[in-house]
């Protein structure tokens, strides 16, 4: 057999490099050290979080911003199970994660003999939430398994992929063939479907475009399409920033009545790369999203198209190729459909629908955006983020994302912000997190320091889980368990040798943000709902 002879661990690193991987996240252990054998000599940077869940969230943030799969190296057992929450968040939000873990020696699998870090069936557990889970029993299979993994990550709806390598296989030798990057095999609509859609578009007089995270890579052509149709563009949370400041942009949730009215009145609703899931389209679980007779869905995942809502046409295609093909078949003349006026009316009505508290919180988000142009705001599940998900316009694609959608994990923002910074080292990242959520991953402030990340940790302190406390009161339940004490976050930052300040007045925020940015981009700023003057309307 031809090819260079290397250990499985060394070959793995070579394969990762050949597929464009430049960063991996993990905590080495005795169950993975052989996977690290070739790492120091490679061009791949290793980032060490304080917890494996942090590794998964870092990889998630890195993947969202870079567009490349985020990669984790994790030990068997607790290392892998610690990362399951992050993998589930990635599965819900269609984020490509490659998780490579160890597993005990082949002869012990399924035996239940009390091996260190043993699980009854690690592969079966991971198969339930991944696009692919594979146990590498034969070292010769490594190149083919990795090729399949990267093709899956780059083709169809993204999500987590898991490969486990038994400890005894890691040090075995494998002949490594000439390496090439695995291809992306993306579906494309047939010509008949494109022509049908082009005709519907040109007939429409009140079209609306819905954009999800799957449309972000086609931002420029979607803008061209929207202008040609004179169609308002409603962006879900993961698509915010696609058309910043554009007259056709409606950066508001389809859970709001005003946005639903805009959609219901349309004679063509073109849904591009959006799951149309509850956390975007029915946040209040009132079943109020309208049934649409003129809905056209475009998605990269046939299974998702089959899940509903029902559409007049379902088109299996990447958004990029569909919009390219559609523009080719449509006339270039722009149609006057009153799109800008319809979009402006929807924006105004949606904003008016919010509470005074939400509008005050959104104003602070806008202050961050306007003070730090081009910054990326990474959010946790906290009140200001909930308000922004309802109504906030980032000034760039991937400029706003958070864990308050889909899986809804707490502790996401701090490590994901580190990953985002590593994907775009010159970009300022703002980690918007609550006092409760930050304590899930507080130690990742140290990871940011170690990695040289440009992250401003903006802590929204409301003395506990205020969103849950409010909900319990509204339901007539006496609040319990919603007041976990918080440390002095400024002292925590000081302990990590990171500058920090607590705002006395909300008007001090722009100066604090600029000072943090100009001081190297790593800092902590605390806003307290009760003690920071001007924080509430």
Q: How many Cβ atoms sit within 10 Å of the Cβ of residue 179?
A: 18
pLDDT score recorded for residue 496: 96
Whether the pLDDT of residue 198 is over 90: the answer is yes
Q: Quick one: what percent of the chain has pLDDT higher than 70?
A: 99
**Which of the residue ranges 191-200, 426-435, 467-476 would you say has the lowest mean pLDDT?**
467-476
Q: Is the N-terminal amide bond of 309 cis, ω within 30° of 0?
A: yes
Strand partners, 233: 209, 249
Q: How far apart are the C-alpha atoms of 417 and 394, rounded to whole Å? A: 16
Q: How far apart are the C-alpha atoms of 422 and 404, rounded to whole Å? A: 22
Name the token pair of 69. Answer: 């799969």
pLDDT score recorded for residue 355: 95
Q: What phi and psi, each to the nearest 5 degrees, are found at residue 345?
A: -65, -40
Confidence of residue 183 (pLDDT cuts 50, 70, 90): confident
pLDDT score recorded for residue 464: 84
Confidence of residue 439 (pLDDT cuts 50, 70, 90): very high
pLDDT in tens, 440-452: 999 999 999 999 9
Question: If 0-12 CB within 10 Å is exposed, 13-18 middle and 19+ buried, where does residue 371 land?
Answer: middle
Confidence of residue 247 (pLDDT cuts 50, 70, 90): very high
> What is the chain's mean pLDDT, rounded?
94
Delineate the domains of the chain, giving CATH numbers in brackets.
4-176 (3.40.50.970), 191-350 (3.40.50.1220), 354-528 (3.40.50.970)
Whether the pLDDT of residue 133 is over 80: the answer is yes
pLDDT score recorded for residue 2: 61
Whether the pLDDT of residue 50 is over 80: the answer is yes
**Which of the residue ranges 13-22, 253-262, 443-452, 458-467 would you say has the lowest mean pLDDT?**
458-467
pLDDT in tens, 408-426: 899 999 999 999 999 999 9
In sequence order, the 6+-apart residues with CB closer than 8 A to the CB of 416 are: 57, 58, 60, 61, 64, 378, 401, 403, 431
**Which of the residue ranges 114-128, 147-161, 163-177, 483-497 would you say has the lowest mean pLDDT?**
114-128
Q: How far apart are the C-alpha atoms of 69 and 366, rounded to whole Å? A: 30
Q: What is the DSSP string of 200-239?
A: HHHH-SSEEEEE-GGGGGGHHHHHHHHHHHT--EEE-GGG
Question: If 0-12 CB within 10 Å is exposed, 13-18 middle and 19+ buried, where does residue 195 land?
Answer: middle
Strand partners, 459: 433, 526
Kindly state the average pLDDT of the residues 210-231.
97
Q: How many Cβ atoms sit within 10 Å of the Cβ of residue 502?
A: 18
Kindly state the average pLDDT of the residues 391-413.
95
Confidence of residue 466 (pLDDT cuts 50, 70, 90): confident
pLDDT score recorded for residue 537: 55
Confidence of residue 332 (pLDDT cuts 50, 70, 90): confident
Kindly state the average pLDDT of the residues 273-289.
93
Q: What is the pTM of this model?
A: 0.95
Name the token pair of 466. Answer: 């205020």
Whether the pLDDT of residue 274 is over 70: the answer is yes
pLDDT score recorded for residue 177: 85
Whether the pLDDT of residue 316 is over 60: the answer is yes
pLDDT score recorded for residue 534: 84
Confidence of residue 395 (pLDDT cuts 50, 70, 90): very high
């Amino acid at each position: 057999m031809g090819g260079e002879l290397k250990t499985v661990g060394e070959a793995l690193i070579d394969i990762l490099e050949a597929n464009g991987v430049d960063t991996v996240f993990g905590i080495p252990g005795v169950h993975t050290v052989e996977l690290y054998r070739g790492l120091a000599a490679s061009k791949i940077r290793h980032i060490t979080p304080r917890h494996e869940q942090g590794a998964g969230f870092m990889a998630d943030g890195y993947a969202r911003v870079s567009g490349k799969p985020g990669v984790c190296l994790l030990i068997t057992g607790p290392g892998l199970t610690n990362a399951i929450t992050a993998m589930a968040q990635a599965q819900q939000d269609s984020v490509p994660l490659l998780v490579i873990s160890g597993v005990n020696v082949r002869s012990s699998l399924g035996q239940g003999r009390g091996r260190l870090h043993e699980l009854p069936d690690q592969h079966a557990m991971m198969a339930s939430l991944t696009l692919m889970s594979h146990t590498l029993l034969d070292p010769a299979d490594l190149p083919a398994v990795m090729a399949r993994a990267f093709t899956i990550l780059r083709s169809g709806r993204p999500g987590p992929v898991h490969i486990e390598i038994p400890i005894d296989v890691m040090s075995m030798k494998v002949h490594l063939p000439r390496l090439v990057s695995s291809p992306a095999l993306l579906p494309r609509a047939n010509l008949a479907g494109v022509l049908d859609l082009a005709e519907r578009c040109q007939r429409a007089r009140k079209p609306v475009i819905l954009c999800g995270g799957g449309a972000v890579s086609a931002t420029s052509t979607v803008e061209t399409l929207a202008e040609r149709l004179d169609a308002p563009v409603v962006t879900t949370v993961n698509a915010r920033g696609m058309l910043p400041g554009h007259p056709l942009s409606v950066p508001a949730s389809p859970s709001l009545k005003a946005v639903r009215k805009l959609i219901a009145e349309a004679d063509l609703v073109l849904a591009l790369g959006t799951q149309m899931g509850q956390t975007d389209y029915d946040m209040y679980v009132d079943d109020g999203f309208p049934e649409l007779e003129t809905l056209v869905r475009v998605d990269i995942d046939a299974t998702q198209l089959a899940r509903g809502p029902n559409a007049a046409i379902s088109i299996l295609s990447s958004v990029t190729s569909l919009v390219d093909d559609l523009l080719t078949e449509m006339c270039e003349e722009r149609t006057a459909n009153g799109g800008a006026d319809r979009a402006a009316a929807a924006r105004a009505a949606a904003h008016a629908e919010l509470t005074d508290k939400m509008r005050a919180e959104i104003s602070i988000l806008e202050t961050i955006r306007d003070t730090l142009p081009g910054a990326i705001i990474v959010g946790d599940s906290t009140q200001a983020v909930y308000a922004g998900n309802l109504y906030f316009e980032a000034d760039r694609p991937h400029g706003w994302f958070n864990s308050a959608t889909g899986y809804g994990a707490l502790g996401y923002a701090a490590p994901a912000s580190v990953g985002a910074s590593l994907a775009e080292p010159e970009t300022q990242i703002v980690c918007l997190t609550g006092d409760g959520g930050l304590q899930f991953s507080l130690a990742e402030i140290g990871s940011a320091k170690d990695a040289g990340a440009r992250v401003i940790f903006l802590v929204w302190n409301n003395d506990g889980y205020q969103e849950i406390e409010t909900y319990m009161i509204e339901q007539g339940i006496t609040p319990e368990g919603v007041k976990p004490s918080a440390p002095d976050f400024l002292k925590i930052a000081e302990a990590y040798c990171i500058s920090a300040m607590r705002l006395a007045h909300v008007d001090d925020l722009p100066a604090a943000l600029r000072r943090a940015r100009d001081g190297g981009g790593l800092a902590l700023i605390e806003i307290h709902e009760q003690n920071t003057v001007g924080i509430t309307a």
